[in-house]
Structure 1
Amino acid sequence: MSEAILVAIISGACTLIGSCVGVIASSRLTQYRLAQLEKQVNRHNQVIERTFRLEGRMDEAEHDIRDLKQRGRALAD
């Protein structure tokens, strides 16, 4: 085998290995970043759910306050 063919085969093999390592590293990084994004989305969704529940409680509290004011006015009259 000539020296040029041997160098070409070795270069091709190294390029293939390097490409595979790069793809694997990129895939791992993408998976990690996706997992972090999912965690952030879950935290955000929890905040939204808590806010929704708190808004419901506030509506109930405002309704109760209105009722108490009306009862107070009725007793004052």
Structure 2
Amino acid sequence: MQSEITVALITLIGSILGSVCSVAYGIKFLGYRMEQLEKKVDSHNKIVEQIFVLEEKIKTANHRIRDLEKGS
């Protein structure tokens, strides 16, 4: 009976340690994935800003072309 209790306690301790380690690893992995996602979002936002600037430049260029064509 004593050996069964010892084995059960060792198994319980192993299960608890395994659960704690897997949760800690999961949290660390989640943090890493969040960092990667933030980098992608930053990159996306920069591209959106650049597109906005380019669209404004194109509008200005189109207005200037129309003005030049009207003057001819």
TM-score range, shorter chain: over 0.9
Aligned to 1:68: 68
TM-score by length of 1: 0.88
Q: How many residue pairs end up in the alignment?
A: 72
TM-score by length of 2: 0.93
Aligned to 1:37: 37
Q: Which amino acid aligns with 1:24?
A: A
Summarize the alignment of residues 44-63 of structure 1 with structure 2, pairs less than 5 Å apart: 44-63=44-63
Larger radius of gyration: 1
Give the fraction of aligned pairs with identical amino acids, expressed as a percent: 38
Unaligned runs of 5+ in 2: none
Cα RMSD over matched residues?
Answer: 1.1
Unaligned runs of 5+ in 1: 73-77
* Offset from partner CA, 1:39-68 (integer Å, 9 cap, x none): 001101110110011001100000011001
In structure 2, how many angstroms separate the alpha carbons of the residues matched to 1:2 and 1:33? Answer: 46
Q: How far off its partner does 1:27 sit?
A: 1.1
